[in-house]
Amino acid sequence: LRYQVYTDPLRLVLECPYLLAAIYWHLANIVTAGRTVARCQDPTCGALFVVTDRRQRYCPPPAGWQGTTGSLCGARHRKRRQRQQEEG
């Protein structure tokens, strides 16, 4: 995807070489609706998610999750770091 800005007359054009890329761009735009999207900081995940809190670094828990309120990815990452520190 690439944006082009033309000045005479002033207009913004989204250039997309493939139809599927344009469809995904529009779908992502609808889903995020101007909200911030981030990548999960857990190295084993890396999924994209809509940020609901500016401090959020990991994916939110799955819908209907009955466990703790925190992220599963965050818990995994913290546990992995703890084990690495214990090993040396």
| The model's pTM | 0.59
Q: If pLDDT is split at 50, 70 and 90, which confidence band does 3 have?
A: low
pLDDT, residue 81, reads: 92
Q: Is the pLDDT of residue 1 over 60?
A: no
Q: Is the pLDDT of residue 69 over 70?
A: no
User: Rounded to the nearest 5°, which phi and psi values hold at 78?
Assistant: -65, -40
What DSSP string describes the chain?
Answer: -EEEEEETTEEEEEE-SSHHHHHHHHHHHHHHTT--EEE-S-TTT--EEE-SSTT--SPPPPTT--S-SS-HHHHHHHHHHHHHHHH-
Q: Is the pLDDT of residue 54 over 70?
A: yes
Strands 37-39 and 48-50: antiparallel
Q: If pLDDT is split at 50, 70 and 90, which confidence band does 40 have?
A: very high
| Token pair belonging to 10 | 């002033």
The fraction of the chain above a pLDDT of 90, given in percent, is 26
